[in-house]
Chain A
Amino acid sequence: MTRLAHLWDQSRCVACGACIAACNAANYHSTDMTNKTWGWLASNIRRVEVLRGHRPLLYLIQCQHCEAAPCVAVCPTGASYKDADGLVKIKPELCIGCKYCMVACPYNARWLDEETGLPRKCMEDECLSRVKAGLDPVCVAVCPADARAFGDVDDPNSEISRRLASSRYVRLLENKGTEPKYFVVVGP
């Protein structure tokens, strides 16, 4: 089985913004449209900063491509679906814009694209096209800090599998039962 997944290394990330801005450039034609759902730019990745603890912490949040994705379960028309490669995708032609997927996602990983009415999230057209061609998604391709990886977690030889095997990692909101496939590395 193929299960494509993302890895983000919180211990190495330098918060350079390349992944966030590159997603906007590659998938959304560098649009200046505001992402009103998140109060953010039109990108599939958002930042959560923890600024009140003992030290500053950063989280980058994007679609977790959950194995038990609530957004897939709640979609009335099957527009939100899990593909054979393990990624959660959208079929725009089946989407009526009921936004149930948006309120169903515990990660608030979807945002409303006001131009098309679609509930956007990672992965979008250009990244899907790149993955199909054997390339990395754009966020992984641009990262200068070696803080990202992408690949098949069912393949023990993939870069992501090897990296997970040699790191300590957590997943977000695990107790929601979503079986997320976004691995946050916290250290070696």
Chain B
Amino acid sequence: MTAFQEIWDPLLIGPFLWLAGMAGMGAVAYVLLRQAKVDNLKTFSWVLFISIVAALVFVVADLSRPWNLVNALTTSFFTGKFGLFRSWMAVGIVLLSVAALLLFLVALRHTVNIKMLSAVVDAGWFGVLLAAVGLLVTIYSGFLIAAAPGVPFWNTALIPVLWLLSASVCALALTELLIHRDDVAKFTVRAGTALEVAELIAVLALVNLAIYGGTTAARSSGWALVYGPLAPAFWGGVVAVGILTPLAIGLVSWRREIRLLLTVAAILALIGALILRIVVLQAGVFEPVV
């Protein structure tokens, strides 16, 4: 079979996508938690900020010309070549920068007492902005790889949808781990379970359609995940650990939540989400030219 793409390192871009998604939907979760008048959001907000910073570190680590980053961005911006309306990568650069700034302000707000800061961060418009940016960051992270025509396995609308679902599960997992309020816990269990079901369908649809309806390269990728060298990571890591186990725990906890189980579910869901992104990147195969 054709070789896997080795252009984007799955172990750098995978964690980038994971952290970006986590920070993105985590920002949405933050806004909802504020609405629910949850206090003690300091840890939560710092986790989000560190996630986005770590995401940026991972993505810059995969650059082959990082020394030119500042020069290139500023030049392209000032000469009007920046591809904001052309390239998802450009969109992402802007979104990630804005998100990092916003999350920094949020984390700061929960750490130091500056009235002006709190006023801004607590404002309604800020919450809308933050949620919107968070959502867009998550969506962009899916469109980024879906819009690359070289790798047919990624060229599917399912990727942004799957990323959205998976990142939402991650946000819920973070909430489960860091926020300890009963009503919140109940919500996260039920919403999480629903999202896990949706995610399972999306993941299976992704590989099924690649194998049965995809082009040669997409079939190659799908086959590698379902039967081939990536099957253990896919079935074991993504499906069993990342979706089915948390889903089972969620169903069991539908009525009664057991702390320990839910913690385990959250951690497994997070791990599964990371593995998902890594194997999707690893499975990418270029369409054979002939």
Contact = CB atoms under 8 A, between A and B. Distances in A.
Interface residues of B, number: 40
Classify the interface of chain B: helix, strand, loop or mixed.
loop
A173 B287 contact: yes
A165 interface: no
Contact of A103 (B68, B71, B87, B151): B151
Given A37-B7, A99-B8, A106-B287, A74 B147 contact: yes
A74 B286 contact: no
A74 B151 CA distance: 14
Interface string B1-45: 000011110000000000000000000000000000000000000
A116 interface: yes
Contacts of A59: 289-290
Given A59-B290, A94-B72, A75 B83 contact: yes
A116 B63 CA distance: 12
B5 A77 contact: no
Interface residues of A, number: 42
A105 to B, nearest CB: 5
Nearest to B152: A106
B178 to A, nearest CB: 32
B68 A95 contact: yes
A75 B65 CA distance: 14
Given A93-B75, A94-B72, A103-B7, A78 B82 contact: yes
Contacts, number: 132
A117 B62 CA distance: 11
Contacts of A173: 287, 289
Given A75-B87, A77-B90, A112-B7, A97 B148 contact: no
B98 to A, nearest CB: 15
A50 B86 CA distance: 36
Contact of A96 (B7, B68, B86): B68
Contacts of A74: 83, 86-89, 147-148
Contacts of A102: 7, 150
B111 interface: no
Interface of B: 5-8, 62-66, 68-69, 71-73, 75-76, 79, 81-83, 86-90, 92-93, 144-145, 147-151, 284, 286-290
Interface of A: 36-37, 48, 50, 57, 59, 61, 70, 73-79, 81, 93-100, 102-108, 112, 114, 116-119, 172-173, 176-178
7 contacts: A48-B290, A57-B290, A74-B83, A76-B83, A81-B81, A103-B145, A112-B7
